[in-house]
Structure 1
């Protein structure tokens, strides 16, 4: 009996040591989903670069478009000309993603699924996401033409408040101090871009603060819902779909293209119908003929926006796929100061210049991204320690 006593003492000790390790592992995960893979740095970095490039080029071309059509000289009756066109440009370029989608799908082999694939549910979700995409694009385009761009930016920054709320309710995301710090710095970054110039900014006679403010607010809400619903699709459908396949195929980046293509298809149809009902097709012909840089420059500006927005969406949804909707929103906002600085360099709206606000915004943007990336590094490091 005396010899057996140490054996009974050893087992409880081993069990006692294993329990806190498992608890610590759960507490360090930003998203507690067993079907999510560890953070993959190459994908995260590539997606971040795509967001930066896509949003920067799209915004510069948008400013170029409004500058060349002399938007500041328009009267109030034509204030909202082209809003459906700008909304359409954000999604109409989705056919460009078909080729990489097909290539990645074939590379990873087609999967045969059972009833758990929820194709009917995905169809309904893609339709809903497409509707929200079109509404968000329309509200955003309209809000910038109704109120000063600085006011629009301040209101639109509220998306950083809505996204964590929706992420907690919809995606069950758990936050820690580094994520909160990153969000706080991102909010400061967005707010400090209030001095940014915009080629389509209305004059005092055209300003409508009530309508423009509500448009900016609901555009931010819609964008937050978009990101959280993208993550909901990945967590509750696509990742589970890969687990329910009869093959061992893992979820690949082709899922990002799948979500964008089907959602953008719906949004494009809605925006096209809105454009035709509003009669903006006639405005497109007039603008092309009156474009100060010529018809070729007009076409390049419009096509460039459509392509750039697709690059942006691949990066945004790619960050949701790799990490979370919260990081995606943070990266989207911290790129605003870069756009603001480039607008100063390439354009001259109201003697716009590089001021202290832009300088501080660049610093807070870097710190915001660094805080979140440090969190991801720590999470991966803790996962490696547990695995070993």
Structure 2
């Protein structure tokens, strides 16, 4: 059962009406006064929780397989940046089936200036695809050129850029609970400096200047990516379904990922060919210590896991905002860090006090943001009268 709410100022007949929706759809949600483009309807908790699970499972699995890959190839340094960028988007065809299912028999509402909207979306998806590809390449380069603690510290700056860009691009306004959540999330990212990475460079391969720049600009790219995705929802997706009988569907999440990933995949594939990394892949497969089968499974597993991760990330932007999406992405790092210790047992790594405190601050960050969402639901219930859908 899902709920849609109407203002008290409507007639009594509206208050007692019962409607039957064609599809199970999602109420667009946001924090109160975050943006004027979204309706102040209650947050859809199942969608939020499912998206959080996707982020945690997707990112954890992808990072574990990435470590397995680098450990088995004896830490290939300064190569494979386009390969890792490609793995983050290449499995997007897997989303075609859920996209078709969620849009099947869905009657689209009439769109004003359809040609303009199509051009707008085409340009926006190309921009998001470029950001996806650049972010994947820069983040991989940063990890391969810089020790993991330094990379993590610099990459955490995305939590500064995302709120600033969200204010400028998405016109988001913040309250104290969101600020508290961001503070705890920043602390979580900062405390993750003791994490391990199988591809960390040795002293002779490190390039501090290049690695630092890559980490910084990859964080900026990720922030721009999230804010542009929210811009698509606010300025097109939600307006396209701005009706009392139609609400935005989760299919729009698959739509954004599929078209943007198509662009990113083309860019990364071309970059991989130009850099000649396809020859490295053949040599790696033949020399993989665990065999060719596990080599292929490691790469395929990473590709699939990244798609699960992106569905969660974009789903959180769809459900709430780019800020919550960034917060959840960062506070997942301590979980990944602990799992790496458990599965790989690096000689110089352990579940130390920093990882423990990072898990605590991550929990506080999530609690602060979710408490704000809970307060919004409670406050909106006093202002809006629900209609029941079967």
Separation in 1, partners of 2:295, 2:88: 17
Q: 1:324 aligns with which of 303, 321, 325?
A: 321
Aligned to 1:4: none
Say if 2:106 is the partner of 1:102: no
Q: Measure how far apart 1:351 and its partner are.
A: 2.4
Instruction: Give the direction of change, closer, same or farther, for the CA distance of 1:250–1:265 in structure 2 (3 Å limit).
Output: same
Q: Name the larger-Rg structure.
A: 1
Q: Give 3-state SS (helix, strand or coil) of 2:94's partner.
A: helix
Determine whether 1:290 maps to 2:314.
no
Query: Aligned residue for 2:247?
Result: 250
Deviations 1:106-151 (A, max 9, x none): 1433444331570111000000110011001000010000010000
Cα pair 1:90 1:305 within 8 Å, conserved: yes
Structure 1 residues 350 and 385, CA gap change in structure 2 (3 angstroms): same
* TM-superposition CA deviations, 1:216-255 (whole Å, max 9, x none): 00000000000000000000011111238xx943210000
Q: Deviations over 1:331-377 (max 9, x none)?
A: 00000000000000011334211100000000000000000000000
Structure 2 counterpart of 1:136: 135
Is the Cα contact below 8 Å between 1:35 and 1:239 reproduced in 2? no
What is the match of residue 222 of structure 1?
Answer: 221
Q: Give 3-state SS (helix, strand or coil) of 1:272's partner.
A: helix
* Aligned mate of 1:366, from 333, 355, 363: 363
Q: Is the 8 A contact 1:108 1:252 kept in 2?
A: no
Cα distance in 2, alignment partners of residues 113 and 305 from structure 1 = 38
Name the structure 2 match of 1:149.
148
> Following superposition of structure 1 onto structure 2, how do residues 11-50 of structure 1 map, counting pairs within 5 Å?
28-35=32-39, 37-50=41-54
User: Paired residue for 1:190?
Assistant: 189
1:126 alignment counterpart: 125
Alignment check: 8 A CA contact 1:242 1:251 kept? yes
367-376 vs 106-115, which moves further: 106-115
2:272 counterpart (259, 268, 275): 275
CA contact (8 A) 2:33 2:172 kept: no
| Alignment partner, residue 263 of structure 1 | 260
Deviation readout 1:91-110 (Å, 9 max, x if unpaired): 00100000000110114334
Structure with a larger share of its residues in helix? 1
| Aligned residue among 300, 303, 307 for 2:304 | 307
Structure 2 unaligned blocks of 5 or more: 1-29, 386-390
Correspondence for 2:349: 352
Contact in 1 for aligned 2:38/2:238 (Cα 8 Å): no
Q: 2:236 corresponds to which residue?
A: 237
The answer to whether the 8 A contact 1:171-1:232 is kept is: yes
What is the match of residue 55 of structure 1? 59
Name the structure 2 match of 1:85.
83
User: Would the aligned equivalents of 2:184 and 2:365 in 1 still touch at CA under 8 Å?
Assistant: yes
User: 5+ unaligned residues in a row in structure 1: which ranges?
Assistant: 1-25
Deviations 1:36-66 (A, max 9, x none): 6431000000000000000000000000000
What's the offset of the Cα at 1:386? 1.2
Q: Encode CA deviations 1:253-283: one digit per residue, 9 max, x unaligned.
A: 0000000000000000000000000000011
TM-fit CA distance, 1:308:
0.3
Report if the CA contact (8 A) 1:35-1:235 is conserved. Answer: no
